[in-house]
Amino acid sequence: MMTVTRGARGQMVVAMLLGLAGLAMAGFMPLLTDASLEPREIVVVASDMAFYVDGNAEANPRIRMEAGETVRLVLWNKQPGVVHEFVVGAWQVATPRLRGRERDSLVFQVPEAIGHYVYECSPHSAMMRGSIEVVDVQ
Ligand SMILES: [Cu+2]
């Protein structure tokens, strides 16, 4: 009898733990949803008259963005004395012009229209110019 009772209690404890786990997961779901709405940060360094993205060595690389995603673009000017900016004319997106060794950022939502868009630094568009590829998240 005692063994059976203990067994029943054990099952109740397991059921309670599963219930708590379920509540915990339900509680975490909004957190996960909020996290997915956090802007994705893209760090663009302006150096040696070119853009470098997220620490990669390729100059003026194609930058991939997802349609509708929110991006925080950080422009970091590592070329003091030369004015740089990051502009996507088609979207009317532009950082402030940075003169010194400084950085600034802007948050924007990528338009839904997939395709390729030019990014550039207006004063140096001959050398500082690349393409943003907007892809469908599906
Ligand atoms: Cu520039």
3-state secondary structure of 14: helix
The radius of gyration of the chain's CA atoms, rounded to the nearest angstrom, is 24
Query: CB within 5 A of ion ligand 1: which residues?
Result: 84, 121, 124, 128
How many A from CA of 43 to the centre of ligand 1? 15
Provide the CATH topology of domain 40-135. Answer: Immunoglobulin-like (2.60.40)
pLDDT in the model for residue 38? 86
How many A from CA of 38 to the centre of ligand 1? 28
Q: Which residues belong to CATH 2.60.40.420 in the chain?
A: 40-135
CB 90 within 8 A of CB 137: no
pLDDT in the model for residue 57? 97
- Tell me: the pLDDT tens digits for 85-114? 999 999 999 999 999 999 999 999 999 999
- Tell me: the pLDDT tens digits for 39-86? 999 999 999 999 999 999 999 999 999 999 999 999 999 999 999 999
Of 23, 136, 121, give the one whose Cα is nearest residue 15.
23
* Residues 6+ positions from 119 with CB-CB distance below 8 Å: 51, 63, 86, 87, 88, 129, 130, 131, 132
